[in-house]
Homo-oligomer: A and B are copies of this chain.
């Protein structure tokens, strides 16, 4: 019997607060979970800086990855298995891709990817195909297996049913994170009847469709997603911490380029600063390491770097104002000038941040994040696109919502000890009440 069919002597279970139990029977899965690269996900938070807003959101990507695996396992073993339209030979591939779909994520992905122009999907590929424990385990299944896993995660795999399980508008990834993030933050959004959705999923041609009888559960899921994005993921306080982290990384890179002499040199960051990220270095870069540097850099001489680090570590975040880029562009230019006059570098202390989401889309050809619409399997066997059947989904379908905010350090602006009159003008422009003492 080959490695791909090898079963554990006894099923292993992980106690999971969201799915109650995660079940593992395959030796391959067990070995992947034990790999160094997968264990590293314990040191990367699922929601980055969200814990500054929702203190419960301290859960890791390890957590989430097990959850996505478990959902795919239930679909494949309990719902798809035995159906003629599904090829059970794809089982192990689906499970591995589910487990590893986030393996390339680094610390605080939003900020790091932005500053260093990284793409976690590239690293995912590198980890699966490179010189890693994960790769060696996958290659034991067979020579082509690692490549296949990478293809599924990269959405290029030929069997689109497998791809759909991991990446579509209603996939195991989204179903896990909505529920998990709701559980750990404690918000009341994020609940939908996943058990019902799983039971009505059907493999069909080159996709996974939903039986019409499950439409209302899907509506609930879409609404959950909408609420989670705006109530949790795009929360302005979370984004403030992200802005600070982003600017910290910018500053550190800038100083490095300037040959600034660090008391604690950013050894772990060198390859990133040089725009030549190396897998081996990247794998060492977890959130503990980042926090170590942020703490150490509070002691640096550069006043901007030390201030930003101290703000992040001690949660002394930027405040924000609503901002309409179309109408208020000039205001930012003016503010920028005033900041300079007040001795507050606008490069680091005056930041526009935008969030944008499309709650559901019937079709987005050619778009960056092009995803299949959700299709319903009608009683008569026809396939209908969701928004055609659901009034609610139709109402929000295709409507992109964007939010812009302007971030700045209120404490600096309110500090009367210098540049009093300039700061007064800043306050006026920002609509802040500057209390005269």
Contacts and interface: CB of A to CB of B under 8 A. Distances in A.
A314 B34 CA distance: 8
A281 interface: no
A391 B18 CA distance: 30
A297 interface: no
B396 A314 contact: no
Nearest to A189: B220
Contact of A15 (B56, B62, B286, B292): B56
A185 interface: yes
B15 A187 contact: yes
Interface in A152-185: 183-185
A283 to B, nearest CB: 10
The binding surface of chain A is classed by DSSP as helix
A55 interface: yes
Interface of A: 13-18, 20-21, 34, 36, 39, 42-43, 51, 54-56, 58-60, 62-63, 66, 183-189, 191-193, 195-196, 199, 216-217, 219-220, 223, 226-227, 230-231, 284, 286-292, 295, 313-316, 391-392, 395-396, 399, 401
Given A184-B184, A286-B291, 4 more contacts: A17-B186, A55-B63, A223-B223, A392-B396
18 contacts: A15-B54, A15-B56, A15-B187, A17-B183, A34-B315, A34-B316, A36-B313, A36-B314, A39-B313, A39-B314, A56-B63, A58-B60, A58-B63, A188-B193, A286-B295, A288-B290, A288-B295, A391-B396
The 7 A-B pairs of least Cβ separation, nearest first, read: A395-B395, A17-B186, A288-B291, A292-B292, A188-B193, A288-B288, A17-B56
